[in-house]
Amino acid sequence: MIPDILSFKNTKCECGHQNPVGTVLCEACGKPISKEDQESDKLLEMRYDGMARRSQRSTPNMIDRIWNFFSSVKIAVYMIVLTLLGSMFGTIFPQESTFLNIDAATYYPETYGTAGLIYYKLGLSHTYESWWFVLLLVMIGASLVICSLDRVLPLYKALSKRKIRKHMQFLTRQKVVYQTRLDEDEEVWINNIVPALKKRGYRVHTDGSALLAEKYRFSRWGPYILHIGLIIFLLAVLARGLPGLNMDQHLAFPEGEIKPIPNTSFYLKNEKFTVEYYTEDDLPEEFKGKGKMLPKLFQTQATLYECTADCKDPSKEPQLVEVDSHPIEVNDPLNYKGLKAYQFDFDTNPILRSVTPSLIEKKTGKDIGQFKLDIRNPERTYQVGEYTLNLVEKYMDFGMNDLGEPVSISPNPNAPSFLFLIKGPNLPAEGVQYFYFPKQIDKQRFQQDIINEKLAGAYNLFELDVDGMSNVDFSMSTTYLNIRVDKVMPFVWLGSAIGMLGLVMGFYWQHRRIWIRIDEGDLTLAAHTNKNWFGIRKEITVVLQKVNMEVDEKSLDNGGNQV
Amino acid sequence: MKLLDFSSMFFTIAFLVYCVAFILYGVAVMGRVWRNRDPEQHMKKWGRLSFLVSTLGLVAHLIYFFTRWAGAGHIPVSNMFEFMSTLSMMIIIAFTVIFIIYRKTLLGLFAVPIAIIIMAYAAVFPQEAQPLIPSLQSWWLQVHVTMAALGESFFAIGFAAGFMYLLRTVDFNSKEKSDRRQQRGVEFTLLSIVVVIGFIASVYAFRVGGYESVFTQEQESKVSRVEYKLPPIVAPYQSKVESFQSFLGMKEPLFEAPSWMVGINAGRKLNTIIWSVLAGLILYALIRLILRKPLGRAIHPLLKGLDADDLDEITYRSIAIGFPIFTLGALIFAMMWAQIAWGRFWGWDPKEVWALITWLFYSVYLHLRLSRGWQGKKSAWLAVLGFMIVMFTLVGVNLVIAGLHSYAGTN
């Protein structure tokens, strides 16, 4: 406060109104405050109607300085331009997030050479998650809040404090001015023009021989409402980073299987996956006969279950209750209380689900018995006739590591393999190891017979064999669904809706004010609008025509080139 | 006659009527100074006629649009041909709206040719109507694409008026540094337009001539094949000639695309760009030879007597009208659709990012103009640059970057 007083300037206007420091035009009568401004004959600076803003304090402290920084439109424009340039750089090469699994450190140099390496090293391969980009967005958010507060309050005050009879300087230095000599009685003329203005939607206030007509003031709030919408939007987007508000996983669902959705109590079953292609008749001439396949439909008939009991207990079957069922298509996800399942991808290669092999004595070819082997969930022990098969190890995608040891190279059942320990009559008490590859192709590729001969030596007396396709169970296709929870979405839409409302208010309506004062037969008319001067000039011409004054639209223009 | 053929016929009719309208706007504007007439009266009479004809063109264009919608069973915005022809229609709609507000005949002289060029560009792409792939089968296709295109069309009118403002106000006789820079800027903008015309002209010339050369490229034991419809100045990286139609004694490609241009189509696109620039430069040189002065300086006198402030206002106004429409169509509706189709409202896909860049750019324009008093030339330059960003978003992203939005087979 003290610095304010020390640097006290006379801000009292001749009309008797005491204005705050920083005021450009008197809040009441509109007369310019500063001496230089009073002597000038240039157009008035009408931004915020000449009100003082917080950011214009004469001796700013630390908080004021931060406030001033963020309240500057210039700074805001710089931040927007930086965001714009940053966004551009991010589109030079695909972002890391485009790919589901890649090693970025090798992908970029391998695909794009040196440029790719530099791109990766600069961190541009994840531009939109980088600290500087997020910081820019946060700063734009801060600027939105502070800019709006800095301007909206003074503007509100300015528009509600109004004196109808304005100072002559205020009027003649507007962008739209019309002056003429009046022959009629002043009050009669004023009364005549009132209905003409009202007909055009103006609210008219008179004070003797002075008049103020105003319409669509709400349009002035448009930008601020837009900014509120953007703030809500940005906050919602930032909140998505908080734990528990956002879930995003891509899962494979083979046809006919119920699979749990990790980190939820839900299970989803892919009842049937359908992919349809357009027939030749549907395709345009130039596609015909070229063997082009154009997909028509991807659909997963899905059923969603909720686990009600025994969910975490591996020894018990979870108890599932069906809660929803929906044919998921690309533009039509399953939605159960905010948990959404989107069609993402599919694979029509059949996947082996289970086999029912027979245990066969090699020498005699005798069939000892059958058992059903579930590829994904095999049991620990199988009893076949007098023999016991203990499962020692399972490999979903069989392969060898660098040390020559068998490993599973992926969790997908591409090349399933099982190591059993067989015990029973004619075999050593500790049992005999036996490797089993259910897929015929893997049997040959990994040389099952040779492995088993090495493992069992003289006791390689048995083998597992599948007799006919009836003992093999395939799932015909797999669908990939994107499972999502996004709790902030309502706020994203709310922010967008508010922002849109602000845009429409601000751009499709304009705040228009017309002031008239008559001094002993000298009529002065001035007008101000925040946008569309062409429109207000035209409107004034039409209104003046109603009181028999022919004025050329263009002649109302007082020069200058304000928006 | 099938509905789709009927529709194609109206596409051609609309194109021809626009060309007539363009000539009429030319007569309306340039004929002012002809002898034995009152310029005011002449402008009024011919301006009205020109507007009538361009509106007739719009009617034909709308007939094309709706009959194609009925014939194909979906709104015609699903590939590059359909989108570009819809965009040109939207530009005429935006022009009509702005014309009704401001009644500036001269605007037609600049807005109509933009629509004509975009329409001709549309016709470069395959025109067959094809059924929709699953991701496009949505109600949102209609609202998202049409609203985005309408918003962009108002930006196009902003560009037309802004560019007219520059042609009117830049001092073409001055030797001062800042003026020289602006003269070069105007000339560069005109050259860019001529290059686009050069591209369209060369594609058509070789299409009529039935030109084709074929290359194959082997990469990681996969052989891909590409057909060149323009004589190959540049061949794809490490490719083999499958067939080569000689052109002006050129029997083999002059050079090969650099290795960092990945994929066989990169070579073809580079070749197209080289051809466009070459054809554009030749065309530009011819025009310069005929006019014997820079294009900007030649056009400048046509705009004499025009109110520059009005042009400034029209530029601003059409951007102000387009901005909310663009926000709704290209961002909000896009986010809503993305949420339904892909499960995320925003994924930093190149097309999405460039829509955001366009939006940020025009918000900078509005802030500078409303809060920092950037009017006149500065503001007009921003309007010109803004429309270049719009065109890059629509065409350049598909051509150069691609991403999820590359449904259309780009040429």
Query: What pLDDT sits at residue B118?
Result: 95
Give the pLDDT band of residue A342 (cuts 50, 70, 90): very high
At residue B289, what are phi and psi to the nearest 5 degrees? -60, -40
Whether the pLDDT of residue A461 is over 60: the answer is: yes
Shortest CA gap B326–chain A (Å)? 11
A470 versus A56: which is more confidently predicted? Answer: A470
Tell me phi and psi for residue B50, to 5 degrees: -60, -40
* Tens-place pLDDT, residues A96-123: 887 767 788 888 888 777 888 898 899 8
pLDDT of residue A6: 43
* Other beta carbons within 10 Å of B388: 14
Nearest CA in chain A to B261: A112
pLDDT digits (tens, 9 = 90+) for B14-58: 999 999 999 999 888 888 777 777 878 888 889 999 999 999 999
Answer yes or no: is pLDDT of A547 > 90.
no
Rounded distance between C-alpha atoms, residue A10 and residue A26, angstroms: 12
- Please report the pLDDT score of residue B404 as a whole number: 47
CB contact under 8 A, B134 and A296: yes
Instruction: Label residues B133-151 b or e (16+ Cβ within 10 Å = b).
Output: bbbbbbebbebbbbbbbbb
What percent of chain A has a predicted confidence (pLDDT) above 70?
94
Mean pLDDT of B398-407: 58
Identify the pLDDT of residue B137.
86
List the Cα angle B54/B56/B59 in 5-degree steps.
115
Which residues of chain A make contact with B141, given a CB cutoff of 8 A? none
Chain A nearest-CA residue for B137: A331
What distance in Å separates residue A143's CA from the closest CA in chain B? Answer: 13
Q: Which of B133, B348, B372 lies at the smallest CB-CB distance from A90?
A: B348
- In the prediction, which pLDDT does A288 show? 67
Cα A118 to Cα A9, A433, A496, B324: the distances in Å are 57, 53, 37, 38
The answer to whether the beta carbons of residues A54 and A71 sit under 8 Å apart is yes
| Average pLDDT over every residue of A338-362 | 85
Distance of alpha carbon B367 from alpha carbon B121, whole angstroms: 33
Q: Is the dihedral of CA A475, A480, A486, A489 positive or negative?
A: negative
H/E segment holding residue A422: strand A417-423
Does position A129 have pLDDT exceeding 80, yes or no?
yes
Sheet holding A266-277, edge to edge: A258-260, A266-277, A295-309, A319-329
Q: Between chain A and chain B, how many beta carbons pairs sit less than 8 Å apart?
A: 149
The model's confidence at residue A57, banded by pLDDT at 50, 70 and 90, is low
DSSP class of residue B250? B
Over residues B85-115, the pLDDT tens digits come to 999 999 999 999 999 998 888 899 899 999 9
Q: How confident is residue B68, by pLDDT bands cut at 50, 70 and 90?
A: very high
Among the partner residues B339, B353, B370, nearest to A563 by beta-carbon distance: B370
The nearest alpha carbon in chain A to B370 belongs to A563
Q: Do B372 and A84 touch (CB under 8 A)?
A: no
Q: Is B323 close to A554, i.e. CB distance below 8 A?
A: no
Residue count (chain A): 563
Distance from CA of B296 to the nearest CA of A (A): 25
Nearest residue of chain A to residue B346 (CA atoms) = A237
**pLDDT attached to residue A290:** 65
Give the nearest partner residue to B343 out of A342, A493, A500, using CB atoms. A342
CB atoms within 10 A of CB B242: 12
Q: Give the ranges where A61-202 is alpha helix by DSSP (H).
A: 62-71, 73-89, 104-121, 131-160, 168-172, 186-199
The full set of domains in chain A, from first to last, is 2-158 (no CATH), 171-216+510-556 (3.30.310.50), 246-351+478-486 (no CATH), 357-465 (no CATH)
Cβ atoms A528, A513 nearer than 8 A: yes
Q: Rounded CA gap, B164 and B377, in Å?
A: 11
Distance from CA of A117 to the nearest CA of B (A): 13
Contact A330 B134 (CB under 8 A): yes
Confidence of residue B263 (pLDDT cuts 50, 70, 90): low
Phi, psi at residue A212, to the nearest 5°? -130, 125
Nearest of B61, B63, B75, B64 to residue B131 by alpha carbon? B75
Residues B134, A329: C-beta atoms closer than 8 Å: yes
Q: What is the pLDDT of residue B406?
A: 45
ipTM of the complex: 0.87
**B274 token code pair:** 């080289």
Q: What is the mean pLDDT of residues B337-345?
A: 88
Of the candidates B262, B368, B397, which has its C-beta nearest A111's C-beta?
A: B262
Question: Do residue A84 and residue B133 have CB atoms under 8 angstroms apart?
Answer: no
What per-residue confidence (pLDDT) applies to A3?
A: 46
Mean pLDDT of chain B: 87
User: A503 and B397: CB-CB below 8 Å?
Assistant: no
Which residues of chain B does A492 touch, with a Cβ-Cβ cutoff of 8 Å? 335, 345
Q: Tell me if B131 and A282 make a contact (CB, 8 A cut-off).
A: yes
| A500:B353 CB<8 A | no
Cβ contact A284–B128 (<8 Å): yes
Confidence at residue A5, expressed as pLDDT on a 0 to 100 scale:
43
pLDDT band at B410 (very low <50, low <70, confident <90, very high): very low
What's the whole-number average pLDDT of chain A?
84
Q: Which residue of B has its CA nearest to A504?
A: B324
Evaluated on CA atoms B136, B139, B145, B146, the torsion sign reads positive
CB contact under 8 A, B339 and A489: yes
Interchain pair B133, A532: CB under 8 A: no
Note whether A97 contacts B327, CB cutoff 8 Å: no
What confidence category does residue A496 fall into, taking pLDDT thresholds of 50, 70 and 90?
very high
> Which of A83, A286, A287 faces B360 most closely, judged by CB atoms?
A83
- C-alpha closest to that of A172 among A506, A519, A435, A465: A519
Using CA atoms, how far residue B77 sits from A257, B15, B74, B82, B121, in Å, is 39, 18, 8, 5, 15
pLDDT tens for A523-543 read 899 999 888 888 899 899 999
Q: Which of A7-16, B252-261, B389-398 has the lowest mean pLDDT?
A: A7-16
Q: Please tell me the distance in Å from A326's CA to the nearest CA on chain B.
A: 15
Residue in B309, B340, B360 nearest the CB of A331: B340
Contacts of B131 in chain A (CB under 8 A): 278, 282-283, 294, 296
- Using pLDDT thresholds of 50, 70 and 90, give the confidence band for residue A40: confident
Q: Do B131 and A331 touch (CB under 8 A)?
A: no
What's residue B402's pLDDT? 55
Q: pLDDT (tens digit, 9 = 90+) per residue, A398-429?
A: 888 777 788 888 777 788 889 888 888 888 88
- Give the model confidence (pLDDT) of A203-257 as tens digits: 999 888 889 999 999 999 999 999 999 999 999 988 887 777 888 888 888 888 8
| Alpha-carbon span A500 to A228, nearest angstrom | 11
A68-100 pLDDT, tens per residue?
888 888 899 999 999 999 999 988 888 888 776
Binary contact (B373, A562; C-beta < 8 A): yes
User: Whole-model pTM?
Assistant: 0.85
Cβ within 8 Å, pair B357-A84:
yes
Inter-chain residue contact A295 with B328, CB threshold 8 Å: no
| B178-206: average pLDDT | 91
CA–CA separation, A31 vs A503, rounded Å?
32
Q: Is the pLDDT reported for residue B178 higher than 60?
A: yes
Which residues in chain A are closer than 8 Å to B101, comparing Cβ atoms?
534
For residues A53 and A43, the answer to whether their CB atoms sit within 8 Å is no
Kindly report which listed range (B60-64, B220-224, B313-317) carries the lowest average pLDDT score: B220-224
Specify the DSSP class assigned to residue A18.
B
As a whole number of angstroms, the distance between CA B134 and CA B184 comes to 48
Of A76, A95, A340, the CB nearest to B343: A340
Instruction: Say what the pLDDT of residue A10 is.
Output: 63
**Which band of pLDDT confidence, cut at 50, 70 and 90, is reported for residue A304?**
very high
A540: its two tokens: 């004034």
Q: How far is B406 from chain A (nearest CA, A)?
A: 14
**In whole angstroms, what is the distance from residue A407 CA to residue A177 CA?**
88
Give the pLDDT score at B240.
78
Residue of A nearest to B359 (CA): A84
Contact B230, B272 (CB under 8 A): yes
* Residue A350 near residue A477, CB atoms below 8 Å: yes
Distance of alpha carbon B373 from the chain centroid = 30
Shortest Cα distance, chain B CAs vs residue A296, angstroms: 6
User: Which one of B133, B320, B353 has the shortest CB-CB distance to A294?
Assistant: B133
Q: What SS3 state is found at A32?
A: strand
Q: B112-170, pLDDT tens digit by residue?
A: 999 999 999 999 888 888 888 888 888 899 999 999 999 999 999 999 999 999 999 99
pLDDT digits (tens, 9 = 90+) for B271-293: 888 888 899 999 999 999 999 88
Beta strands in A222-318 (DSSP E): 246-254, 258-260, 266-277, 295-309
- The strands making up A478-486's β-sheet, listed across from edge to edge, are A246-254, A478-486, A339-347, A334-336
Of A74, A80, A248, the CB nearest to B372: A74
CA distance A411 to chain B (A): 26
Nearest to B260 among A115, A128, A298 (CB): A115
Q: Residue B163: its pLDDT value, please?
A: 94
**Separation between Cα atoms, residue A266 and residue B153, nearest integer Å:** 48
| pLDDT one-digit tens code per residue, B197-248 | 988 988 888 888 888 888 887 776 677 777 888 888 888 777 778 777 777 7
Tell me how far apart the alpha carbons of residues B267 and B261 are, in angstroms, rounded to a whole number.
Answer: 7
CA atoms within 13 Å, Cβ hemisphere of A423? 11
- Taking CB atoms and an 8 Å cutoff, what residues of chain B touch A128? 348
Task: Compute the nearest-CA separation of B317 from chain A (Å).
Answer: 7
Where are the alpha helices (H) located in A416-525, listed in sequence order? 440-445, 448-456, 489-508
Kindly tell me if the per-residue pLDDT of B409 is higher than 60. no
Residue B227 to residue B267: CA distance in whole angstroms: 11
Residues of A with Cβ-Cβ distance to B403 under 8 angstroms: 94, 98
Kindly state the tokens that stand for A328. 């998921």
Alpha carbon separation from B200 to A390, B195, B204, B210, B260 (Å, rounded)? 73, 9, 6, 15, 27
Kindly report the number of other CB atoms within 10 A of residue A441's CB atom: 9
Q: B393 or A33: which carries more pLDDT confidence?
A: B393
Q: Which of A77, A92, A561 sits opposite B309 (nearest CB)?
A: A561
